[in-house]
Structure 1
Amino acid sequence: MNTYDTLLFKVDDHVATLTLNRPDSRNALNLQMCRDIVAACERAGADANIRVLLIKAAGKVFCAGADLKERQGMTTADMVARRVEGFTAYAAIEDLAIPVIAVVQGAAFGSGGEIAAACDFVLASTEAAFKYPEVGWRTVGATQRLPRIVGRRMAKELLYTGRMVDAAEAQSLGLANHVYAPDQLGAEADAMAAAIAQNNPLTVRLTKHSIDTGLETTRQGAMAVELLAIQENLRHSDWKGAIAKFGNDKDPKANQLETTETKHAA
């Protein structure tokens, strides 16, 4: 396990786990954590052995937001520079070519919500909660990722009011994909990451790229993005070998998939 000043980082069977590790400060995002997140994401992106990244947090809180104590005494220029560091950390997560899953066991407020939103999706505990208090702190934030997840009108409501969103509502809004009991969350997240890591890493990366890039362009442009991804995948993946396994009694997974597809096609 490699450690940073504010994070823990380990790799096991193609799955990396980045753990926010400032539990005494409710994992509040400070300048050093921003820089550690960037460094850890750069490491994950450069290691071909890593196929999935889980972002977890130590303690009962995922991330209580930005470290406001750190901001006391800052000048306007200092604040702008600090916000840029935060944006850089979120972008480092979002720009990873591999799947990134946030595992939110408790409060994800402000910057915590941004970290979760920068991931591909979120698995949450029933004790998780989301809140976007930026307007109440007389600042602007969470205006870009949040509306892309929950829609324009709901994003405005959540930002204008700064109200709390519990785990059940978070799931209904799309902030969380699945909600589990606290004692099951870690195991469920590990199992999902392990399952994703078993897939062809190139195919997974191309699928992520196609979705993320396609959503930012026209329908025709998105089709071109997917076609280019298909061509690259055909050149570099063992798609013929995967198809050849259909009907092979020695490959239960392939047989199950074939049976399912046949049933749907009937």
Structure 2
Amino acid sequence: MKSQVADALSQGKPLIFQPAAAGRFFCGGFDLDDLLALPPTEVRDVFADLLTLTRLVFEAPVPVLVLADGHAVGVGGMLALASDRTVLSRRAKIRFPETAIGLGTLSDIVDLLRFRTSGRTAELMAVHARPVTAEQAVALALADSIVDGPGDPLAEMKDLLLGLDLDAFVSAKAACRRGVLAVPVEAQLDAFMAQWMVFRESRTGGTAP
């Protein structure tokens, strides 16, 4: 996905994220069993790609729309928070479950939460892994609107840009978002991988690759 996003950005195309098929999840995050089966160096690469992707989306010099017709968990939640407009189906929830399963969080998750909403909400979601419903997400400015179906991406993108000059939109967006994701990726990965190794040991007893 990272390469597809980078390619779209190089062509100046707007980005629209929506599920490929109907289901309970817009994006359910990583499968822990799959990650535990990987060597730590590959796990680090996976999370490096995640952080790079999220930053590409957050800093994209084009409009970015997320249509989440289902739960946005982990990776999906980061994309929802990094976009210019997030539309949730009424059944959708946003959640970051890392601490609930024994992992710490990433600084970029906290920064995105603080950018979109209050520090207290960020703490409840990042530290206590509290999910928020679609209605709560809109009230907290974590999302922009709710639809009762999958939504119309073209209509939502037109509405996003209604009455705005595209160049002015991009310039103002860059000014508003400058300096938000300030912690270097490598520093985040160092801290996360230290936590991951403890988590891995507790789950596998040292038998993972």
The TM-score range, normalised by the shorter chain, is 0.7 to 0.9
* Candidates 71, 91, 94, aligned match of 1:107: 71
Change (3 A) 1:180 1:198: closer
1:194 is displaced (CA, Å) by 3.4
Alignment correspondent of 2:4 = 40
* Separation (CA, whole Å) in 2 of partners of 1:196 and 1:169: 21
Number of aligned positions between the proteins: 174
Residue aligned with 2:26, SS? coil
Residue 198 of structure 1 deviates from its aligned partner by 7.7
Instruction: Tell me the TM-score normalized by structure 2.
Output: 0.74
Superposition map of 1:32-71 within 5 A: 37-48=1-12, 50=13, 52-57=14-19, 58-60=21-23, 61-71=25-35
CA–CA distance in 2 between the matches of 1:64 and 1:214? Answer: 29
State the TM-score, normalized to the length of structure 1. 0.59
Q: State the partner residue of 1:165.
A: 132
Q: How does 1:185-200 map to 2 (within 5 A)?
A: 185-187=150-152, 189-195=153-159
Aligned counterparts, 1:16-31, within 5 A: none
| Preserved contact between residue 64 and residue 107 of structure 1 (Cα < 8 Å) | yes
The alignment-based identity, stated in percent, is: 20
On the 8 A contact 1:99/1:205 being kept in 2, the answer is: no
Q: Distance in 2 between matches of 1:59 and 1:86?
A: 23
Change in CA separation of 1:100 and 1:139 when aligned onto 2, cut-off 3 Å = same
Q: d(CA) in 1 for partners of 2:85 and 2:15? A: 11
- Distance in 1 (CA, whole Å) between partners of 2:125 and 2:176 is 27
Cα distance change on mapping 1:191 and 1:198 into 2, 3 Å: same
> 3-state SS of the aligned residue for 1:123?
strand
> For residues 197 and 44 of structure 1, do their structure 2 counterparts lie closer, same or farther at Cα, with a shift above 3 Å needed?
farther
Equivalent AA in structure 2 for residue 186 of structure 1:
G
- Larger CA Rg, structure 1 vs 2: 1
Quick one: distance in 2 between partners of 1:78 and 1:169?
Answer: 36
- Match among 182, 197, 207 for residue 169 of structure 2: 207
SS at match of 2:27: coil
Partner of 2:85: 121
Specify the alignment match of 2:189 in structure 1: none
Give me the whole-angstrom Cα distance separating, in 2, the residues matched to 1:64 and 1:139: 18
Secondary structure in structure 2 of the residue aligned to 1:54? strand
- Give 1:150's aligned amino acid: T
Letter in 1 for 2:48: V
Q: Does 1:145 align with 2:109?
A: no
Structure 2 equivalent of residue 78 of structure 1: 42
The alpha carbon displacement at 1:177 in A equals 0.5
Matched to 1:53, the amino acid is L
Counterpart AA for 2:18: K
Give the superposition deviation at 1:215: 5.0
> Residues 99 and 214 from structure 1, CA distance in 2 versus in 1: closer, same or farther, beyond 3 angstroms?
same
CA shift, 1:62, in A, is: 0.3
Distance 1:43 1:204 in 2: 20
Which residue matches 1:255? none
Say which SS state the counterpart of residue 174 (structure 1) adopts: coil
Q: Which has the higher contact order (CA 8 A, sep 6+)?
A: 2
- Structure 2 unaligned residues grouped into runs of 5+: 180-209
Q: Distance in 1 between matches of 2:6 and 2:88?
A: 25
1:168-187 mapped onto 2 (5 Å cutoff): 168-182=135-149, 185-187=150-152
How far did residue 135 of structure 1 move? Answer: 1.1
Give the RMSD, CA atoms, in angstroms: 2.2
What does residue 155 of structure 1 align with? Answer: 122
Could you tell me how far apart the structure 2 residues matched to 1:139 and 1:170 are? 22
Local SS of the residue matching 1:130: strand
